[in-house]
Amino acid sequence: MEQLPGIIGGYRIVREVGRGATATVYEARHPSFSEPVALKLIRFGDDSSDGAKLNRRLLKLLRAEEAVALRLNHPNIIKIHKVVVEPEQAYVIMEYFPGTTLERYCSFERRLPVHRVIGIIFKCCMALDYAYRHGVVHRDIKPANILMDENDDVRITDFGLALNVNKKVEADSTFIMGVGSPAYMSPEQIKNYPLNQKTDLYSLGVVMFHLLAGRLPFRAANPAQLVYKIINVDPPFVSHLNPDVSEQMDMVIRKAMEKDLYSRYKNGAEFAKDLSAVRYKIVDENDAQLDTSRFSILRRQAFFTEFDDVELWEVLRISVWRNVPGYVKLIKEGDTEQRFGVLLEGRVELSVKGRRVMELGPGTIFGELAWLDRLNHRQPVSVVSLEPLTYLEINPAALLLATEEMQDLFRREVASVVAHRMGALALVHAENCGAATEATALTTSGFATSRSGWRLVED
């Protein structure tokens, strides 16, 4: 067994967690930080012409990975902290994620249940959609570059081959065919055509096929035959290889793997939307799939009426499901914590300076005012649970990582709830106030604006 390096750049190497042709990944710790990190160590080649060529390529991949790290901050993309290049080696310090690659589940005997595969690919879709909206195409999506833990949490890694879509194509000369297997490459990638986000969606479709079927869609005796099939032959239906796969799921995979770019999914969100439509109809063998059950609960809530299925799945991904007993202070008046809750079951009380303001029940929100207050971000009321309750905790920092469409939905729905609540409070307050000032017969329709203000409009 090879001896561990010991210490690299101040990081103590704990154990080896993965090894490739040019790099080894270790779990490492730094005395200044409590959390472990992953350290990817790249050793450069010798001084020969081949070695020098390899070194140049490795440096280019490292620079690309570092550039991507500055752009992307998504819960399903591995976070890179820094890249260090030394004369004989380089290393990348990144988020430590205690999972395994999807390669583990690509064999027939280790196939995952259909609903789990859909959940995994859904998260990848949203991560790739986020990356493309930030100008990045991965270009090397395959099981080895997707990590998953025991809770089906997912991380996409290895953005060394990523394409900067804001650069001119001629300026990006990263050599594709020399890295990895062509089995997951899109037809346009093999042809060396200009690429956009659709190449990643094709590759993700191949990954999904592999996970569900336990084999690749195209198998051949040699690389030339494989390339021919990818460009010219339609993949088989997954349902012919796995009876648990529905015809609707077949159509989703076929669309992801369309050779015609105009017929393929246009973005990750569209791919994810079709996945959610299939997933909603699926339960596991015990009819107790947790996230499907939670999805159903959200679907019944008035607050989420305007949310599409794909947006509801995204809500589940970025939020935290909370269960708390009665008489717990959830929010303290004056706090700057901006998290707010969507109340699903139970009742809460809102109070100011020890005086009760109102009571809220299921289907509404609480704690949203600090998020809406862009100046002070302070909670104007305290919130206490009146009985055991269930609510969805929304962290605005996580909400910023969601799609722009979903952020707009939250802003609109929260504003609508606040408007109705203010109206109700005004009505209650009016009961304890004096009579209103007597109005004249004229209304604002009887006035017109001028530079000096309002003036009366005469017939």
| Calpha distance 390→323 (Å, rounded) | 5
Task: For residues 406-414, give the mean pLDDT.
Answer: 89
Give me the active site residues, please.
140
| Calpha distance 409→414 (Å, rounded) | 8
* Tokens coding 335: 């706090």
Quick one: which of 321, 326, 313 has its CA closest to 395? 321
What does pTM read for this prediction?
A: 0.66
Highest mean predicted confidence (pLDDT) among 59-68, 283-292, 371-380:
371-380
The SS3 call for residue 46 is coil
| Calpha distance 178→50 (Å, rounded) | 14
Quick one: which of 11, 162, 12, 153 has its CA closest to 82? 11
pLDDT surpasses 70 at 443: no
Task: For residues 350-367, give the mean pLDDT.
Answer: 93
Order across the sheet with 154-156: list the strands.
100-101, 146-148, 154-156
In which band, very low, low, confident or very high, does the pLDDT at 45 lie, cut at 50, 70 and 90?
Answer: low
* Tokens coding 242: 């796995």
DSSP letters for 254-277: HHHT-SSTTTS-SSHHHHHHHHHH
* Tokens coding 107: 């064999």
Highest mean predicted confidence (pLDDT) among 173-182, 272-281, 371-380:
371-380
Quick one: which of 385, 388, 367, 386 has its CA closest to 377? 367
Q: How far apart are the first and last CA of the chain?
A: 98
For tokens 């604002």, what's the residue?
Answer: 444
Cα–Cα distances (Å) from 452 to 444, 447, 448, 457, in that order, read 16, 13, 11, 14
The answer to whether residues 233 and 254 touch, using CB atoms and an 8 Å cutoff, is no
Quick one: which of 22, 34, 121, 33 has its CA closest to 62? 22
In which band, very low, low, confident or very high, does the pLDDT at 346 lie, cut at 50, 70 and 90?
Answer: very high
In which band, very low, low, confident or very high, does the pLDDT at 442 lie, cut at 50, 70 and 90?
Answer: low
Q: Which long-range contacts (CB under 8 A, 24 or more apart) does 323-329 make?
A: 323/388, 323/389, 323/390, 324/385, 324/388, 324/389, 324/391, 325/385, 325/388, 326/385, 326/386, 326/387, 326/388, 326/389, 327/384, 327/385, 327/386, 328/384, 328/385, 329/382, 329/383, 329/384
| Calpha distance 92→83 (Å, rounded) | 5
pLDDT surpasses 50 at 284: no
- Find all residues with CB under 8 Å of 272, minimum gap 6, and list them: 122, 125, 126, 129, 310, 313, 314
Quick one: which of 78, 61, 58, 69 has its CA closest to 17? 78
The answer to whether residues 334 and 345 touch, using CB atoms and an 8 Å cutoff, is no
Q: Tens digit of pLDDT for each residue in 215-235?
A: 899 888 888 889 999 999 999
Task: For residues 349-361, give the mean pLDDT.
Answer: 93
| Calpha distance 119→275 (Å, rounded) | 8
User: Which of 81-85, 112-116, 259-263 bottoms out in mean pLDDT, i.e. has the lowest?
Assistant: 81-85
| Calpha distance 80→95 (Å, rounded) | 6
The answer to whether residues 57 and 64 touch, using CB atoms and an 8 Å cutoff, is no
- Please report the pLDDT score of residue 390 as a whole number: 95
86 vs 381, more confident: 381
Cα–Cα distances (Å) from 282 to 251, 277, 286, 300, in that order, read 16, 10, 11, 18
Task: For residues 102-121, give the mean pLDDT.
Answer: 90
- Please report the pLDDT score of residue 83 as a whole number: 83
Highest mean predicted confidence (pLDDT) among 112-121, 165-174, 401-410:
112-121
The SS3 call for residue 51 is helix
- Please report the pLDDT score of residue 167 as a whole number: 54
Task: For residues 21-27, give the mean pLDDT.
Answer: 81
In which band, very low, low, confident or very high, does the pLDDT at 288 lie, cut at 50, 70 and 90?
Answer: very low
2 vs 85, more confident: 85
Q: Tens digit of pLDDT for each residue in 301-345?
A: 999 998 877 678 778 877 889 999 999 999 999 998 889 999 999
- Please report the pLDDT score of residue 457 as a whole number: 47
DSSP letters for 282-297: ---TTS--HHHHHHHH
- Please report the pLDDT score of residue 418 as a whole number: 92
In which band, very low, low, confident or very high, does the pLDDT at 405 lie, cut at 50, 70 and 90?
Answer: confident
| Calpha distance 121→207 (Å, rounded) | 8
User: Which of 97-106, 272-281, 420-429 bottoms out in mean pLDDT, i.e. has the lowest?
Assistant: 272-281
User: Which of 83-87, 178-182, 226-230, 401-405 bottoms out in mean pLDDT, i.e. has the lowest?
Assistant: 178-182
- Please report the pLDDT score of residue 32 as a whole number: 84
Task: For residues 436-440, give the mean pLDDT.
Answer: 70
